Amino acid sequence: MGEGVFLITGASRGIGLATAQLAAEAGYRLVLTARDVDKLAEPAARLGGPDRVWVAACDVRAWEQLAALVGRVEEEWGRLDVVFANAGTSVVTSFTSSQGAPPSQWTDMVLTNVCGPAFTARAALPALMRSGGHLVLTGSAAGRGVRPGNLYAATKWAVTGLAQAIRAECVGTGVRVTLVQPGLTDTGGIPASRLGDPKLAPADVARAVLYAVSQPSTVDVNEILVRPAGQDAYR
């Protein structure tokens, strides 16, 4: 594990940044991506500097950017062992009223949350097959139940199905696939209506990710559902 390479999308804050911290502590070299790389300068320096941490601007909605990035990682560092398809976004929606974001703002969320992990998987899986590596996707507890008017939840339902489809195609390749489904997590984007609800810290989810990737190669942790104590299962 010590010289393994761990790529994280959406690494500039929240779950991605917390996972980067734990992965660095576990000895991984890191590839940290975000749309705004300026936010990654301080964490990159703190987590190991240029010899251990590679910062890259990457928009997961753009297949060409992801494919080029994975190619450069293999060329420069020779391998890719763990890919955490974590980048995501959320807006409040309603299908029956004008509450929440207008439909013109929904497209970015759907592309980021659905095409993003799909493109990440397609770009990374050939490299992960060569290394016998691990693909981790950030889903959500919202991707397991009905949330009235909630398009975000529908995108996470899509990630649930995506993880299952990828896992089925990867049988026999040596690649492990894990879907992490956090409950409400304090990443800075919690709707005002839920600010008083129990919340996970990003580090709580990061520990679940590291648990999955630290298992022996013969163990495939398919899904992890982790909620804060006291969270209503239907919220």
Q: What would the pLDDT profile of 105-133 be if each residue is shown by its tens digit?
A: 999 999 999 999 999 999 999 999 999 99
| Residue 45 near residue 24, CB atoms below 8 Å | no
Distance CA 75, CA 72 (A): 5
Share of the chain above pLDDT 70, in %: 97
Mean pLDDT of the chain: 94
- In the chain, the amino acid numbered 202 is P
Residue carrying structure tokens 């060329």? 75
What mean pLDDT do residues 184-193 have?
A: 77
Task: Confirm if 10 and 206 have CB atoms less than 8 A apart.
Answer: no
Among all residues, which ones are annotated catalytic? 152
Instruction: Collapse the DSSP code of 130 into the 3-class scheme (helix H, G, I; strand E, B; otherwise coil) and give the result.
Output: helix
3-state class (DSSP) for residue 220 = coil
Kindly state the DSSP code that residue 204 receives in the 8-state scheme.
H
Give the three-state DSSP class for 174.
Answer: coil
Say yes or no to pLDDT of 234 above 70. no
Q: Provide the pLDDT for residue 30.
A: 98
Residue of 85, 76, 82 whose CA lies nearest to 58: 85
Name all domains of the chain by residue range, CATH numbers in brackets: 5-226 (3.40.50.720)
On the question of pLDDT at 5 being above 80, the answer is yes
pTM, full prediction: 0.95
The pLDDT confidence band at residue 233, using thresholds 50, 70 and 90, is confident
Q: What span, in angstroms and rounded, lies between the C-alpha atoms of 222 and 219?
A: 9
Query: Is residue 193's pLDDT more than 90?
Result: no
- Encode pLDDT of 16-41 as tens digits: 999 999 999 999 999 999 999 999 99
Give the residue-averaged pLDDT of 37-60. 93
Q: How many CA atoms lie within 13 A of 99 on its CB side?
A: 11
Residues contacting 103, CB < 8 A, separation 6+? none
Tell me: pLDDT of 183 over 50: yes
| Rounded CA separation 4/21 (Å) | 15
Q: Which segment of 85-99, 184-198, 205-219 scores lowest on mean pLDDT? A: 184-198
Q: Calculate mean pLDDT across residues 79-101.
A: 96
Q: Tell me the pLDDT band of 227, cut-offs 50, 70 and 90.
A: very high
Adjacent-strand bridge partners of 31: 7, 54
Give the per-residue pLDDT at 192. 67
Burial 6-44 (b: 16+ CB within 10 A, else e): bbbbbbbbbbbbbbbbbbbeeebbbbbbbbebeebeebb
